[in-house]
Structure 1
Amino acid sequence: MPTVTPSDWSDIGERLARLAAEAGAGEIFGSSSHRWWLEPPLSAAELDEVEGQLGVELPGEYRSFLLGAGSGGAGPAYGLFPVRRVEGRWRWEGDGAELTDLATLARPFPHVEAFNPADGLPDPPDEDDYDSLDAFNAAEDAYWERHDQVVFRPEHSLGLLYLCHLGCAQREVLVVSGPARGQMWADDTADDGGFRPLADDDGTPLGFARWYRQWLDNAEARLSRGLPA
């Protein structure tokens, strides 16, 4: 297969079409949702409008994907959240896409290393420490209310564009602003795992292009071996 640059997506349509025609392609995780199909790319004028509304330029690899491959659809897990114009405003749509605060994408995500907003919180209440079930339930409700106030503060996701849902409220995001701009991160807050950068086997942080192509390479490899997953 010829070498392609991170901004060259000319091979993607053909590769997705081949995958869609393969026996077993429907067994690849998430394919029943995206069906190996990409929505049409954005025009340069549409992308300018998106970025104008956001007040920030999107990272180059993702930007080139929107222009040269598609505006959403086939991709890791259940697919890439598509960006669409709804009543004159551009937004991403999908299970968890609403976690992107479009008004703050231009504000820097400050982290370069994994962090967990739940660190430092006390352990949940233990029922054995309470004299009655009502007292325990009240303490548990208060604990989880406080937990969610800390863990799900909007400021934790400044500058993050949610692109993909893995299931069970696990999602992957693109850092749009800040020192990790252009990197893909995991949001594991639903399991109290916090946020972490995604990395290649050698520890190199994954940008959008490598993240997307890893998924595509893996799907092709598994189908060629008769091992859909």
Structure 2
Amino acid sequence: MTNIDWSGVRDRVAALSTTPDAKVFGANGHGWLLDPPLRPAELAELEEQLGVRLPEDYRGFLLEVSRGGAGPFYGLFPLRRVDGRWRWEGDGADLTEIGTLGEPFPHTGPFNPAAELPEPPDEEDFGTVEEFNSAEDAYWELHDRVAYDPLHTVGAVYLCHLGCAYRHLLVVSGPERGAMWADDTADDGGFTPLAGPHGERIGFARWYLDWLDEATAKAREPLHG
């Protein structure tokens, strides 16, 4: 998606700053605060370090609105420049493999890396507690190695967390470039592209602006209880 009109977004977010946190999920995490946008030279440096051009709507947001802060769920992971290197910061932002963002995201449809794993061991199948504990430890070691393999998310940037280790990410390389995806591996749900009512992919701009519209509508509702 290109040519997004980001004008007025900062003002709309600022207007929500007096909204009680209870009305909009995650507002207590970002407090309706937006970091300053990136300068063009900063974006150029960021993309040079990443080795990839970010999707146009996200680039526009970074340049015209903010480098992070108020946004869906607990807010957008902010970009920070630390010791001359750019990175995203937040709960799960470190899952972004900075060095592989130029490689194609490996999925084009829902994918659950844990789907092919065997069932966890059953205590009734073991003669002793020690044998069961050993088998259980081995199973979960295998599970975590398979489910959380960083190869699953090359070419994608984690942008926010939803709580309980659920997160959303933006694909920046490969056939799914520009699409927002959900990472539900925390409950073995795998990875799923965010889609509209007709199955269309949802990009960053729609994801963010839909949230802003919804937050604005909720702010106008009476607070019950």
Structure 2-normalised TM-score? 0.95
Per the alignment, residue 173 of structure 2 pairs with 177
What is aligned with 2:150?
154
For residues 179-207 of structure 1, what are the alpha-carbon distances to aligned partners after superposition, in whole Å with 9 as ceiling and x for unaligned? 00000000111111110000123321100
Unaligned runs of 5+ in 2: none
Amino acid in structure 1 at the alignment position of 2:16: L
| Conserved? CA contact 2:23–2:218, under 8 Å | no
Verify: 1:80 aligned to 2:76, yes or no: yes
Q: Please point out which of 2, 5, 21 is paired with 2:18.
A: 21
- Identity across matched positions, percent: 60
- 8 Å contact from structure 2 (residues 117, 143) kept in 1: yes
Does 2:123 match 1:127?
Answer: yes
Task: Encode CA deviations 1:8-52: one digit per residue, 9 max, x unaligned.
Answer: 211211111111133x24542111111111100000000000000
Deviation at 1:79, TM superposition (A): 0.2
Q: SS of the counterpart of 2:17?
A: helix
Aligned length: 223
1:12 aligns with 2:15: no
Distance 2:132 2:27 in 1: 44
Matches within 5 A, 1:37-48: 37-48=33-44
- SS of match in other structure, 1:213: helix
Contact 2:106 2:153 in 1 (8 A): no
1:162–1:173: 8 Å Cα contact kept in structure 2? yes
Output one character per residue of 1:99-141: Cα deviation in whole Å (capped at 9) or x when no partner.
Answer: 0010000000021101010111100001111111111111000
> Given that residues 9 and 68 in structure 1 are in contact (C-alpha distance below 8 angstroms), is that contact kept between their aligned partners in structure 2?
yes
* Contact 2:23/2:219, CA 8 A, preserved across alignment: no
Is the Cα contact below 8 Å between 2:21 and 2:28 reproduced in 1?
no
Any idea what SS the aligned residue of 1:75 has?
coil
The normalised TM-score by structure 1 is 0.94
Shift of 1:95: 0.4
